Amino acid sequence: MDDIGHKDGSGSEAISVRATRIQDVAKLADVSTATVSRALATPERVSPEARARVLEAIAKTGYVPNPAARTLRSQKTYMVLVVLPDLANTFFSKILRGIEETLFEAGYGMIIGDLDGSPEKEAHFAAFTAAGRVDGAILLNGHLFGQSRGGEGISARITIPLVALCESIPGADIPQIEIDNRAAASRMTQHLASLGHRSIAYVSGPASNILERERFQGFKDGLAASGLPFEPVQVIPGDYTIEAGVRAGRDIVARRDRPTAVFCTSDEMAIGLMRTLFSAGLRVPDDISVAGFDDIDFAVVAEPSLTTIRQPRRELGQAAASALIDLLQGRPSPKRIRLETELVIRDSVAPL
Amino acid sequence: MDDIGHKDGSGSEAISVRATRIQDVAKLADVSTATVSRALATPERVSPEARARVLEAIAKTGYVPNPAARTLRSQKTYMVLVVLPDLANTFFSKILRGIEETLFEAGYGMIIGDLDGSPEKEAHFAAFTAAGRVDGAILLNGHLFGQSRGGEGISARITIPLVALCESIPGADIPQIEIDNRAAASRMTQHLASLGHRSIAYVSGPASNILERERFQGFKDGLAASGLPFEPVQVIPGDYTIEAGVRAGRDIVARRDRPTAVFCTSDEMAIGLMRTLFSAGLRVPDDISVAGFDDIDFAVVAEPSLTTIRQPRRELGQAAASALIDLLQGRPSPKRIRLETELVIRDSVAPL
DNA sequence: CGGCCGCATGTAATCGATTACATGAAACTT
DNA sequence: AAGTTTCATGTAATCGATTACATGCGGCCG
């Protein structure tokens, strides 16, 4: 680290140019603070002349209402917390973008809570929420605050609207936005079977994960629907990462009795797996077919391009944000939204 | 969209169980509110007995200070805004994680401002900042608020600490955290030249981008240092995306006189480009060498694995957050930090 | 013409913490 | 012993907006 020169902390001690307050505007427009406030919040309740003077004064002074004061009085923060397990994961960032743009249009800001696998952080965000720093929260982590380890004390105090996104939270009476993981996994499995594959391996997500359980059910559904038996040896454990795909690939390469198709429950794993097969001299899809899940940007430029399930990530984010905004504004909100997935057929899967 | 059932907005209209206030704690502990406040902020200025009674009362009531009230009085929000051009980009999410974890440890929350190429959003975040909703901001977008289009009115009011990350902001008197893009690009160019390549193409970023200008200079430096002439035809325009890499690949495939090596200024472009070359029957690195920049997760599983420049993304985020926290807490802060990059040699580049 | 209503506006309470200043007791100082 | 310092604590002003309530004016109705 090459550290050139120093700058003192004067930025934070800057001569505090006290910002324009509502009082200043009121004085300049020769009205009361109440009138200024009303001119902004309920213009129709203020005479046109007064309103004009207020607006002029605001323009002249560049007045911006103090959010802390506003929040203190009105109990509204215009902030939403988004809790997610891993910010560095490609899968989430597109979703976040959908959330952010929808919140933005409605005048809400987005605060990120990256759990990073730490229960300590989870407790922190629960406290954060309980303290009233946000008006609502979107949960991408598959459970309510403190539901995992005894943080009930705090979570009981969380009375703000919540929305579950992607990982449904069983038993929680909050809007749930997701895809039909089970149906999608079943569909892909049947697609593989329909091409003649009888021996299909399944690379799983983390066992504790709800997504994983749904997709696994779907896999079994698909086998059953195709008249194929389920055999535990077909399941290779994974955790959605590239590295897990690489490990699963090594597993398959080492097998005497190889499956003819592999269904990976994330594109990352599929890409890592294909790479490992390739290095071992196995050709995809000639020797073995590989399918993914998610349709991330890299799926189309993988070699071969990846057959996968497309999740509408941006739309998922938008739908969750919309549902939350409905709740925040006292409107009824859909209780459960299931967005459609799409089977994207590319080159990594071929008939047997 | 399959919309099952409805839930009314009762979440937001819930019977407002007024939260515990400092007054309630004071009454229970039989002290004044001032003592409660001091017991939390400056425990050493309160007698042990009073402190114990206060803490007990807090435990009993589950009191959490109201952040809005605190902010109103103390002018501290404990929030930081992170402004970035594209949240969906893999490159940023690892950086964000570094920022988030460092801010978190220091007790700050992170608000995301995704510009999404919209000047309107930029103005919004400038106003947001000017309104005092955050204590500081980290700018990943290469310019100060309103510096691009006449938002000077608002940006003049932004007196909070700022830090520039990745894209340096020339002329701004704020800490700048970055890598030495020029040196890194030069190094890669020389690496290619040292392997015997005389005809090296360069796939650029957006021309207006500061990163791009630095890397382009580095490319020319590297050519010069290797005794190679620079020829404009070597430059293929890009914008860091996979698709731009695909387009650049088509360009190269169509050329009569192909370069023997291609230096892409992002891994996304390199991967898209390799894919296009492969589809056209050109082999990497046998027929043509390809180098990237960033070392994203997919670089190692690309086929062939990608020779690239590693940027310490998490550390960049951490360093920027640390610098900002220094400023926020009135400590001196490094004015400029340059983190080291690393030339990562894999299989996509070979001697001529 | 007197009373009632509605409208535009102002006054001041309120949100919940922090903190300057005041107070009184105990501990020193000379 | 009187005066000074220190310490723990309380009182109340303050941050800056929102909003319940009060006021005064003009129009309308009977």
Name residues 41-60 of chain A within 8 A of B (Cβ). Answer: none
pLDDT of residue B17: 55
Q: How confident is the model at residue A146 (pLDDT cuts 50, 70, 90)?
A: low
Strands B308-310 and B342-344: antiparallel
Nucleotides of C under 7 A from a protein CB: 7-12, 14-20
- Taking residues B289-304, report their average pLDDT: 96
pLDDT of residue A127: 83
A47-94 pLDDT tens trace: 999 999 999 999 999 899 999 999 999 889 999 999 999 888 888 989
Q: Which residue, among A256, A252, A253, A263, has the nearest Cα to A228 in the 3D structure?
A: A263
Classify residue A281 by its DSSP letter: T
**Across all residues in chain B, what is the average pLDDT?**
90
Fold exhibited by the domain B77-179+314-339:
Rossmann fold (3.40.50)
C-beta contacts of A131-134 below 8 A and 24+ residues apart: A131/B64, A131/B65, A131/B66, A131/B67, A132/A75, A132/A77, A132/A160, A132/B19, A132/B66, A132/B67, A132/B68, A133/A77, A133/A79, A133/A81, A133/B67, A133/B109, A134/A77, A134/A79, A134/A80, A134/A81, A134/A160
pLDDT of residue B155: 58
pLDDT of residue A124: 86
Question: Is the model more confident about A235 or about A3?
Answer: A235
Q: Is the CB of A63 under 7 A from strand D?
A: yes
Name residues 274-313 of chain B within 8 A of A (Cβ). Answer: 275, 278, 297-298, 300-303
**CATH class of the region A10-65:** mainly alpha
From the list A2, A110, A330, the residue facing B13 with the nearest CB is A330
Whole-angstrom Cα distance, residue B72 to residue B265? Answer: 46
Report the nearest residue to nucleotide C18, CA vs C1'. Answer: B73
pLDDT of residue B143: 81
B181-312 to CATH, choices 3.40.309.10, 3.30.565.10, 3.50.50.60, 3.40.50.2300: 3.40.50.2300
Contact A199, A234 (CB under 8 A): yes
pLDDT at B14 over 90: no
Contact B230, B200 (CB under 8 A): no
**Across all residues in chain A, what is the average pLDDT?**
90
From the list A100, A111, A159, the residue facing B114 with the nearest CB is A100
Report the nearest residue to nucleotide C20, CA vs C1'. Answer: B34
> Worst-scoring range by mean pLDDT, A151-160, A221-230, A242-251, B223-232?
A151-160
Instruction: Strand C proximity: list residues 148-177 of A with CB under 7 Å.
Output: none
CB atoms within 10 A of CB B201: 24
pLDDT at B3 over 60: no
Contact A179, A316 (CB under 8 A): yes
C-beta contacts of A116-122 below 8 A and 24+ residues apart: A116/A85, A116/A86, A116/A87, A116/B97, A116/B101, A117/A85, A117/A86, A119/A148, A119/A149, A121/B104, A122/A83, A122/A146, A122/A148, A122/A151
| Residue to substitute from A73, A298, A348, interface B, most B β-carbons within 10 A | A298
From the list B5, B89, B302, the residue facing A335 with the nearest CB is B5
Residue A338: its chain B contacts at CB < 8 A? 1-2, 4
Residues in chain A: 352
Q: How confident is the model at residue B153 (pLDDT cuts 50, 70, 90)?
A: low
Whole-angstrom Cα distance, residue A69 to residue A71? Answer: 5
How many interface pairs between A and B have CB atoms less than 8 angstroms apart? 247
- Taking residues B282-307, report their average pLDDT: 96
Cα distances (angstroms) measured from residue A93 to each of A313, A320, B290, B302, B347: 9, 14, 27, 21, 29
Compute the nearest-CA separation of A221 from chain B (Å): 21
**Same CATH fold assignment for domains A10-65 and A181-311:** no
Contact B197, B189 (CB under 8 A): no
Q: Is the CB of B61 under 7 A from strand C?
A: no
pLDDT of residue B121: 87
Q: How confident is the model at residue B295 (pLDDT cuts 50, 70, 90)?
A: very high
pLDDT at A181 over 90: yes
- Taking residues A90-110, report their average pLDDT: 92
CB contact under 8 A, A68 and B66: no
Q: Is the CB of B143 under 7 A from strand C?
A: no
| 3-state DSSP assignment of residue B203 | strand
Q: Which of A12-16, A154-158, B5-9, B119-123 has the highest mean pLDDT?
A: B119-123
B156-215 pLDDT tens trace: 566 789 999 999 888 888 999 999 999 999 999 999 999 999 999 999 999 989 999 999
CB neighbour burial string for B95-112, b if at least 16 within 10 angstroms, e if fewer: bbbbbbbbbbeeebbbbb
Nucleotide nearest to B49 (CA to C1'): D8
CB atoms within 10 A of CB B48: 8
Contact B324, B163 (CB under 8 A): yes
A261-286 pLDDT tens trace: 999 999 999 999 999 999 999 999 99
| 3-state DSSP assignment of residue B187 | helix
CB contact under 8 A, A6 and B90: no
Whole-angstrom Cα distance, residue A38 to residue A61? Answer: 18
CB contact under 8 A, A275 and B128: no
Residue tagged 């230096």 (tokens): B263
Q: How far apart are the first and last CA of chain A?
A: 55
Question: What CATH number was assigned to the domain covering residues A181-311?
Answer: 3.40.50.2300
The ranges assigned to domains in chain A are 10-65, 77-179+314-339, 181-311
Whole-angstrom Cα distance, residue B217 to residue B228? Answer: 14
Q: How far apart are the first and last CA of chain B?
A: 55
Give percent of chain A with pLDDT exceeding 90.
75
pLDDT at B11 over 60: no
Whole-angstrom Cα distance, residue A263 to residue A343? Answer: 13
3-state secondary structure B255-314: CCCCCCEEEECCHHHHHHHHHHHHHCCCCCCCCCEEECCECCHHHHHCCCCCEEEECCHH
B23-79 pLDDT tens trace: 999 999 999 999 999 999 999 999 999 999 999 999 999 899 999 999 999 889 999
B89-128 pLDDT tens trace: 888 989 999 999 999 999 899 999 999 888 888 888 888 8
pLDDT of residue A156: 57
Strands A6-7 and A333-334: unpaired
Contact A341, A179 (CB under 8 A): yes
Q: What residues have CB less than 8 Å from A276, skipping those under 6 apart?
A: A245, A246, A248, A249, A250, A253
| Residue to substitute from B2, B3, B7, interface A, most A β-carbons within 10 A | B7
CB contact under 8 A, A242 and B339: no
